[in-house]
């Protein structure tokens, strides 16, 4: 998911570590290249600028240029700074789902991967945590979306709330809650409707659902391939709805990873999961340490 960036940084650091002694100018030149690499990866300008500044401050101290392996020291500083910019939750995959039945609200734009991700998370909760999960589609404008969730439910062996024609999203959310309580479910997931763009109607509908369901987690699902747009979408949803985390999808197709690198710094919200394919198992937790290691190879 960070192939391009990883390759670019790899080149910069190879040169740096091969050099024996390093002057402050060498470090500056390398960091200029790091900055370009970050911008090419679609990392937002302020984030890239702050990143390089932080590394520069730590790397131009006497200790680094005077040390025996200055190149490696710089790489270590970059690694730590990557971890810092990616800062996530200590345990991103641990959802707040005590006190059953716990509602999880899934929000996002249409086509971002919301329904697929709802099912992926349900499967994970069922298989890893032994939870009894109920999924409900609130996408009343798109019968095909409701059916899609039902089909995925059958495929992964997770129950879905029966579809009742003509019901509005708030009524469906209430029915999901009742069914989850009566049926002894640990978690119920509300897959809200998406729109092609953020609009008042979408936000008002999601707000109304949020207010009746009081979700324990509100996860925004966004297409990682959209880079900076994904970050803006997250800002908008957070302002209006309040989100507890982000799931970045299609990271199997994003060799740049810019959205992942800017998300926390810009929105203050952690990435909890990344989607790495269409299959139901193609979901990973987002752990900064591991990701930083992956970027630096
Ligand atoms: P929704 O409109 O937001 O509910 O989007 P869907 O869940 O219907 O997903 C739209 C398309 O994206 C489907 O064809 C999914 O299989 C695909 N998709 C979802 N997540 C991923 C992912 O992480 N990687 C890839 N490659 N495809 C994905």
Note the pLDDT tens digit of each residue in 212-267. 999 999 999 999 999 999 999 999 999 999 999 999 999 998 878 888 999 999 99
> 193 alpha carbon to ligand 1 midpoint, in Å?
14
Mean of the per-residue pLDDT values of the chain: 93
- Is the model's pLDDT at 155 over the cut of 90? yes
**Any idea which residue has 């709802």 for tokens?**
118
> 146 alpha carbon to ligand 1 midpoint, in Å?
15
Look at residue 143 in the predicted model and tell me its pLDDT.
93
Which element (helix H / strand E) includes 191? strand 187-191
Q: What is the ipTM of this complex?
A: 0.99
Look at residue 218 in the predicted model and tell me its pLDDT.
98
Going by alpha carbons, the residue nearest to atom 28 of ligand 1 is 278
Look at residue 208 in the predicted model and tell me its pLDDT.
98
Question: Could you report the per-residue pLDDT of 62-85, keeping only the tens digit for each?
Answer: 677 777 788 888 899 999 999 989
Across the range 90-113, mean pLDDT stands at: 94
| Residue 192 Cβ contacting ligand 1 at under 6 Å | no
- Is the model's pLDDT at 271 over the cut of 80? yes
Look at residue 16 in the predicted model and tell me its pLDDT.
85
- Is the model's pLDDT at 96 over the cut of 80? yes
Look at residue 257 in the predicted model and tell me its pLDDT.
86
Q: What percent of the chain has pLDDT over 90?
A: 75
Look at residue 68 in the predicted model and tell me its pLDDT.
77
Crossing angle (nearest 10°) for helices 70-86 and 258-267 = 60
Task: Give the angle subtended at the CA of 264 by the CAs of 102 and 104, to the nearest 5°.
Answer: 10
Q: Ligand 1, from 116, 136, 221: best to mutate by most atoms within 8 Å of Cβ?
A: 116
- Is the model's pLDDT at 137 over the cut of 90? yes
Look at residue 62 in the predicted model and tell me its pLDDT.
65
142 labelled binding-site residue: no
Q: How far apart are CA 49 and CA 31, in angstroms?
A: 10
Order of all β-strands in the sheet with 133-137: 159-160, 133-137, 187-191, 102-107, 217-223, 245-249, 271-275, 283-285
Question: Could you report the per-residue pLDDT of 118-136, keeping only the tens digit for each?
Answer: 999 999 999 999 999 999 9
Tell me whether strands 217-223 and 187-191 are parallel, antiparallel or unpaired.
unpaired
The HSE-up count of residue 52 (CA atoms within 13 Å, CB side) is: 20
Going by alpha carbons, the residue nearest to atom 2 of ligand 1 is 111
């Amino acid at each position: 998911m960070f192939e391009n960036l990883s390759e670019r940084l790899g080149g910069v650091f190879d040169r740096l570590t091969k050099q024996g002694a390093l002057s402050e100018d060498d470090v500056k030149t390398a960091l200029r290249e790091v900055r370009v690499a970050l911008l090419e990866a679609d990392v937002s300008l302020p984030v890239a600028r702050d990143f390089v500044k932080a590394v520069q401050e730590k790397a131009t101290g006497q200790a680094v240029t005077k040390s025996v392996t200055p190149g490696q020291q710089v790489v270590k500083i970059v690694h730590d700074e990557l971890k810092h910019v990616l800062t996530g939750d200590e345990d991103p995959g641990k959802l707040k789902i005590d006190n059953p039945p716990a509602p999880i609200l899934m929000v996002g734009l249409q086509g971002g991967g919301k329904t697929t991700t709802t099912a992926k998370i349900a499967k994970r909760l069922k298989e890893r945590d032994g939870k009894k999960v109920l999924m409900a589609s609130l996408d009343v404008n798109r019968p095909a979306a409701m059916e899609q969730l039902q089909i995925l439910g059958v495929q992964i062996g997770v129950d879905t709330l029966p579809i009742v024609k003509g019901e509005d999203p708030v009524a469906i959310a209430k029915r999901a809650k009742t069914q989850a309580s009566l049926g002894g479910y640990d978690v119920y997931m509300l897959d809200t409707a998406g729109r092609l763009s953020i609009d008042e109607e979408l936000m008002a509908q999601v707000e109304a659902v949020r207010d009746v369901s009081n979700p324990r987690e509100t996860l925004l699902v966004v297409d990682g391939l959209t880079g900076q747009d994904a970050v803006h979408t997250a800002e908008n949803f957070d302002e209006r709805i309040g989100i507890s985390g982000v799931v970045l999808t299609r990271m199997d197709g994003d060799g740049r990873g810019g959205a992942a690198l800017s998300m926390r710094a810009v929105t203050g919200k952690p990435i909890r999961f990344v989607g790495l394919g269409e299959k139901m198992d193609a979901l990973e937790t987002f752990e900064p340490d591991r990701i930083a290691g992956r970027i630096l190879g």
